[in-house]
């Protein structure tokens, strides 16, 4: 048994520290950052052709996308809006961003 464990002072991994901090600060996977992404049957595995829709679960906002870049832009815009307005639920508007 390592000396640290014998003394009861086992060193903490960086992951342990992050987990403890996340619990103290709130959920590590907040609902406000949850999305559902649905791809068309034509979308290829490499996402060179990616068409579908995305829905933000908290607000219900939906958007269609025509490429992986469009999808990432939409997610980035919504995450930036969430960052700029902490604590707001924005449930009243169900239109696209």
Q: Which two tokens stand for residue 78?
A: 């919504």
- pLDDT tens sequence across 2-40: 555 555 556 667 666 655 655 567 888 998 899 999 999
CB burial class (10 A; 0-12, 13-18, 19+) of residue 66? exposed
- pLDDT tens sequence across 77-93: 988 887 776 554 443 34
pLDDT > 90 in the chain, percent: 43
Q: Where are the domains of the chain?
A: 3-84
pLDDT, mean over the chain: 78
- Cβ proximity of 31 and 58 under 8 Å: yes
């Amino acid at each position: 048994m390592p000396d640290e464990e014998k003394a009861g002072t086992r060193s903490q991994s960086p992951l342990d520290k992050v987990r403890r901090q996340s619990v103290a600060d709130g959920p590590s996977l907040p609902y406000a950052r949850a999305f559902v992404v649905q791809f068309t049957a034509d979308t290829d595995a490499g996402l060179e052709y990616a068409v579908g829709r995305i829905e933000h679960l908290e607000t219900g906002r939906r958007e269609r996308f025509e490429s992986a870049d469009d999808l990432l832009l939409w997610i980035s815009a919504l995450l930036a809006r969430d960052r700029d307005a902490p604590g707001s639920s924005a449930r009243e508007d169900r239109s696209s961003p």
